[in-house]
């Protein structure tokens, strides 16, 4: 393939990976996809995606390998399974939120297998993924950018290049900072609505009081709507995934000598909500962690 029309293997077709693979195919790229549960990937065949039975089959001959899996260990396990099909010199766009320790292991794998690693987490959830409007946070060498341009253009509304090498994890670091803010805002909305319920305050009065002022924001409106309207499924960002990300953020802070008490407490809220049966609902289900039943 030429640099302008790369073949792409997408490993992981969950909430984010599925629409990303679909959008890649819809702009005419040669796409093959793999998911641990084949049923999740199978509908992509209608868009011209070749659904593979194994990671190695998916990546065989691919110019670009895009990983969008649960966490760093999952991404490493899948790439080890893919190793027999990997081509030295292929570009690996690693979009899994892996944390700093997880990213270090992935970077080591890339070096061992002669892959051109690009640290490429994305900012956005299910709807922007479906619309091809994610923000791609990217760190990697100039030589990979031409190959990745049509890939990132298909999945994202914009690409922010933050470094010219991937090994330092600059994009992963930025993603952790961004996610720390997203999770904090989510808990803030959830706790405010929970307190309103406990105190007998109409949530509409709370939202009206902040409307149009400096305390108002789109994310507050979106998460409040999910909680109040019971629209937590299907999730844009699942509670179980949010707990995982929160713990990665806390670990990154510890590694840097930074205490993140709010994020640590938030991880426990997500854990409690998951234990109550809300793990696969939108992370706004943090709301339920405020109550014992």
Domains and CATH numbers, the chain: 7-168 (3.40.50.720), 173-290 (1.10.1040.10)
Point out the residues that are catalytic.
175
CA distance linking residue 63 with residue 147, whole number of Å: 8
Task: Show the CA angle centred on residue 64, arms to residues 62 and 68, nearest 5°.
Answer: 115
Closest to 25 in 3D by CA, of 47, 1, 52: 47
Q: At what angle do helices 17-26 and 142-155 cross, to 10 degrees?
A: 100
Q: What is the pLDDT of residue 1?
A: 42
- The answer to whether 224 and 115 have CB atoms below 8 angstroms apart is no
Q: What is the pLDDT of residue 4?
A: 63
The pair of structure tokens assigned to 175 is 């993603």
Dihedrals phi, psi of 200, to nearest 5 degrees: 75, 25
Per-block mean pLDDT, blocks of 10 residues, the chain (293 long): 77 98 98 97 98 98 98 98 98 98 97 98 96 98 97 98 97 98 98 98 98 97 98 97 98 98 98 98 98 90
Q: What is the pLDDT of residue 3?
A: 45
């Amino acid at each position: 393939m030429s640099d302008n029309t790369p073949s792409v293997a997408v490993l992981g077709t969950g909430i984010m990976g599925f629409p990303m693979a679909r959008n890649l195919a819809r702009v005419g790229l040669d796409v093959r996809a793999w998911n641990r549960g084949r049923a999740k990937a199978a509908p992509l065949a209608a868009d011209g995606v070749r659904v593979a039975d194994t990671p190695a089959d998916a990546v065989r001959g691919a110019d670009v390998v895009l990983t969008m899996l649960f966490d760093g260990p999952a991404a490493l396990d899948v790439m080890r399974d893919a190793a027999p099909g990997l081509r030295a010199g292929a570009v690996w766009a690693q979009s899994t939120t892996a944390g700093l320790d997880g990213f270090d292991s992935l970077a080591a794998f890339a070096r061992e297998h002669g892959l051109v690693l690009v640290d490429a987490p994305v900012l956005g959830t299910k709807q922007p993924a479906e619309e091809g409007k994610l923000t791609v946070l990217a760190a990697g060498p100039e030589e990979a950018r031409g190959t990745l341009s049509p890939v990132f253009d298909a999945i994202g509304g914009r690409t922010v290049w933050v470094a010219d090498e991937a090994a330092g994890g600059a994009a992963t670091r930025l993603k952790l900072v961004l996610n720390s803010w997203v999770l904090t805002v989510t808990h803030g909305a959830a706790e405010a609505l929970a307190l309103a319920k406990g105190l007998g305050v109409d949530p509409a009065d709370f939202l009206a009081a902040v409307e149009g002022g400096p305390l108002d924001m789109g994310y507050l409106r979106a998460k409040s709507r999910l909680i109040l309207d019971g629209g937590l499924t299907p999730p844009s960002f699942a509670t179980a995934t949010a707990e995982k990300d929160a713990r990665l953020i806390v670990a990154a802070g510890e590694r840097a000598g930074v205490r993140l008490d709010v994020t640590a407490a938030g991880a426990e809220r997500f854990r409690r909500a998951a234990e109550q049966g809300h793990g696969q609902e939108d992370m706004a289900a943090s709301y339920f962690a405020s109550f014992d039943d």
